[in-house]
Amino acid sequence: MAKTKKKTRDTQILKPLWDGRLSEKPEAQAFAFQSSINVDKRLVFDDIAGSKAHVIMLGKQGIIPKDSAKKIAAELDVIAAELKNGKLNIEENAEQTTKFSAESSIEDVHSFLETVLTKRLGETGKMVHAGRSRNDQVAVAFRLYLKRVIPQIQNSLASLINILLDTAQSNVNSIMPGYTHLQRAQCVTLGHHLCAWCAALERDYSRFNDALKRLDECPLGSGALAATSLPLDRRLTAQTLGFARLSINSMDAVADRDFALEISGACSITMVHLSRFCEDVVLWASEEFKFIDLSDSWSTGSSIMPQKKNPDFAELIRGKSGRTTGNLVTLFTLLKGLPYAYNKDLQEDKESLFDSIDTLSDCLLMFAGMIKNAKFNLKRMKAACFGGFLEATDAAEYLVRKGTPFRAAHETTAKIVRDCIGAGHKHISGLSLAELKKYSKLFDQDIYKAITPLACVKARNIPGGPAPSEVRKQIKILRKKIK
């Protein structure tokens, strides 16, 4: 008998805000299916800000009585305060909707706020929605949220860049191999390698800046798609909310999700960068490299092998990059076939983007903590520069400076390397000057100074190069860009 009552309760009809048009209402389970409050509840303070600006404008324009506008605005402030101190809880309403409760008609955070206002202010509360649709209401809250949250990501990026630059500053002379194809290629420094990471992260920082500039327009007043006949002052609400400009076209304003794509793309690209850096860290932490010693607090052990110290945090960040890439594809797929106005499909725009924002925010903090507490094995890095003929390009360029065409110099040096390997030498300096002159009479005693690892690095002192003087310049430039 109890089960029968439960089933009847779960299938009772709900009363949403839009119930006036339909003679039959969705059953509770169907209503819950199209509810988004568990996703969009994080927009609540942004929706409050948008609603407050809108209602104050309605009062100034004489669309609703000024005293009613003041009451609504004041109550919105009360609601915001109650949400912050826990007196009012969206979670409870969201939980009711999830369980198909007939006691709730809350389908999203926007309905939640209007329902609370109506319960508290009666007919006055119903005035809040004059001159707007949920389409432009959602769009403005979404943009306000991103304007608030993206600078927090940028702060995390700037913090990480500064941590890396501090380490780079201390290691402008710390020699290490640079790799292509995972083969030892040429000598660089740890400072130069870390600046390479920072250059990528600075582009990410800039990419978010660009996205913020484009999303900084106010769609409020666009209505469902065709604006409204009420005399709204769109410029007033845009200025009140801190937007740089108005959206140009009311239909585009509610159809546009380019800003979500751009932010999702920026998150995905940043995560790909972190993933690549983590690949370096995983390799460097291996017994074969031993370039980095991750703190015990940023490592894990094995459930079966007692000796293991695993770079799991780096691996997990690397793995999480797949989520943000998938989220970007989700948004592209969502949008590609939509008619150009508002469609219910757009309700699915937030969950994937919120996940990307959350994932990136967490990974930036984790990567920063992991690197800040890591120790670099500078002796091991330096030792890896001897052997593998990292000086070969410098030997070729030595001949170029003496007048040999580069292709001829390249061929000559390649033969030297081949013969050194055959003779068991690990460095070109293993050959005597007389032996080198057999390959080219241009070799002289100064070749030995020119092909030491430190000399190879210092010689590459053009802008962007690994020479200590240039790395110091790169550090200054990067700090300035994120200041």
pLDDT tens, N- to C-terminus, the chain (483 residues):
444 444 333 333 345 554 555 555 666 777 778 888 899 999 999 999 999 999 999 999 999 999 999 999 999 999 999 999 999 998 655 444 444 343 455 789 999 999 999 999 999 999 999 999 999 999 999 999 999 999 999 999 999 999 999 999 999 999 999 999 999 999 999 999 999 999 999 999 999 999 999 999 999 999 999 999 999 999 999 999 999 999 999 999 999 999 999 999 999 999 999 999 999 999 999 999 999 999 988 888 878 888 888 999 999 999 999 999 999 999 999 999 999 999 999 999 999 999 999 999 999 999 999 999 999 999 999 999 998 899 999 999 999 999 999 999 999 999 999 999 999 998 999 999 999 999 999 999 999 999 999 999 999 999 999 999 999 999 999 999 998
Q: Domain 392-451, CATH 1.10.40.30 — does that match?
A: yes
The residues of the chain that CATH labels 1.10.40.30 are 392-451
Cα separation, 56 vs 48, whole angstroms: 12
Predicted pLDDT at 416: 96
Of 68, 174, 193, 302, which residue is the catalytic one? 302
Predicted pLDDT at 17: 55
Q: How far is CA 107 from CA 46, 290, 353, 386, 466, in A?
A: 17, 54, 20, 66, 57
Q: How far is CA 223 from CA 7, 53, 182, 226, 338, in A?
A: 39, 15, 56, 6, 19
Predicted pLDDT at 155: 98
Cα separation, 466 vs 476, whole angstroms: 14
Give the count of alpha carbons within 13 A of 163, CB side only. 18
Cα separation, 95 vs 439, whole angstroms: 80
Long-range contacts of 245-251 (CB under 8 A, 24+ apart): 245/216, 245/217, 245/218, 246/217, 246/218, 246/221, 247/217, 247/218, 247/219, 247/222, 248/217, 250/136, 250/221, 250/222, 250/223, 250/225, 250/226, 251/222, 251/225, 251/226, 251/340, 251/341
Predicted pLDDT at 23: 54
| 166 C-beta neighbours (distance < 10 Å), count | 14
- Domain 24-130: which CATH class? mainly alpha
The residues of the chain that CATH labels 1.20.200.10 are 135-379
Predicted pLDDT at 16: 56
Contact 348, 144 (CB under 8 A): no
Cα separation, 455 vs 429, whole angstroms: 13
Contact 195, 166 (CB under 8 A): no
Predicted pLDDT at 13: 37
Q: Which of 221, 1, 50 is nearest to 148 (CA)?
A: 50
The residues of the chain that CATH labels 1.10.275.10 are 24-130
Predicted pLDDT at 87: 94
Contact 107, 39 (CB under 8 A): no
Grouping H, G, I as helix, E, B as strand and the rest as coil, residue 165 is helix
Cα separation, 337 vs 307, whole angstroms: 54
**Active-site annotation holds for 302:** yes
**Active-site annotation holds for 181:** yes
Residue with the two structure tokens 């439960």? 6
Q: Domain 135-379, CATH 3.10.20.30 — does that match?
A: no
376 phi, psi to nearest 5 deg: -100, 135
Of 36, 54, 104, 181, which residue is the catalytic one? 181
